[in-house]
Amino acid sequence: MTDPEFDDSAIEAGRLLFAQTCDFVIGAAALDQVPPTDLPEIAFAGRSNVGKSSLVNALTGRTTLARTSRSPGRTQQLNFFDLGGRLILADLPGYGFARAPKEQVKAWTELVRAYFRGRAPLRRVLLLVDARHGLKASDRETMALMDEAAVSYQAVLTKADKVKPSALDACLATCVDDLARRPAAHPHVLATSSRTGTGIAELRATLAALAEPAAR
Ligand code: GDP
């Protein structure tokens, strides 16, 4: 069944938005380094290795964008990109390393909590979830931070190509169910694959609906 949210014009709006140039703006290790903006902003959050860089690259059609902004030892920074002067994309540091030192987890939580609470242009956080694993305890901790800051968020499954359709449906259903009980969560969960392109046009359309309208 066709999702009414994604009619042809919505898909086209997403394609046009992501055909614009996407430029790295800054990597910020503290909220006071985050540049002010009048544009709407969307953030990408997820466990390390969830496929966040791959998804940002698949959306923007660039193979090096998210990775080049990521230098070793500087994992705890928020990376900002300007998409065609219409939308800011913010790449949040990954979380959930099993062996991460306590101080690192604390620093991550403080940085991200400050960002969620203090970033007025933030319209939505995309919470990336590996379709093979579903929501983990660390995702729930991040969801609690967003609920507490009243930041709207939407779950996006990654690596959909890695699971059978039945497992994907089950993961989607569990996520939808779980998110229905969360005050700040968007009810719609998208399944994507950076490898096959599944869901990428739909995610672009979702983001285009939140972006500054195109100049006429
Ligand atoms: P990040 O740490 O969240 O930025 O994750 P990466 O984008 O670096 O991806 C982590 C690993 O998952 C890499 O080996 C990617 O090649 C792989 N990966 C990412 N997205 C997909 C996908 O959609 N399908 C498959 N099969 N593998 C993916």
pLDDT computed for residue 67 by the predictor: 57
CATH number at residue 44: 3.40.50.300
Distance 54 CA to ligand 1 centre (A): 6
What integer pLDDT is reported at residue 97 of this predicted model? 80
Note whether residue 215 is domain-resident: no
The pLDDT score that the predictor gives to residue 99 is 79
C-alpha distance from residue 132 to each of 105, 158, 162 (Å)? 24, 9, 7
* Distance of CA 161 from the midpoint of ligand 1 (Å): 11
Cα(193) to centroid of ligand 1, in Å?
9
Residue 27 in contact with residue 74, Cβ under 8 Å?
A: yes
pLDDT for the residue 2: 46
Q: Per-residue DSSP letters for 156-200? A: EEE-GGGS-HHHHHHHHHHHHHHHTT-TTB-S--EE--TTT-TTH
The parent domain of residue 202 ranges over 8-208
pTM of the complete model beyond 0.75: yes
| Within-domain flag for 145 | yes
Provide the pLDDT for residue 70: 53
Domain membership flag for residue 213 = no
pLDDT along the chain (216 residues), means of 10: 75 96 93 93 96 95 62 72 96 88 90 96 98 96 96 98 97 96 94 97 97 86
> Ligand 1, from 44, 53, 54: best to mutate by most atoms within 8 Å of Cβ?
54
Gap from CA of 52 to ligand 1 centroid (Å) = 7
Beta carbon of 161 within 6 Å of any ligand 1 atom: yes
Residue 81 forms beta bridges with which residues?
Answer: 24, 89
Question: Per the domain annotation, does 2 fall within a domain?
Answer: no
- Is the residue at 107 inside a domain? yes
63 Cβ below 6 A of ligand 1:
no
Answer yes or no: is 1 within a domain: no
Atom of ligand 1 minimally distant from the CA of 56: 7
The answer to whether residue 216 sits within a structural domain is no
Number of domains in the chain: 1
Residue 53 in any domain: the answer is: yes
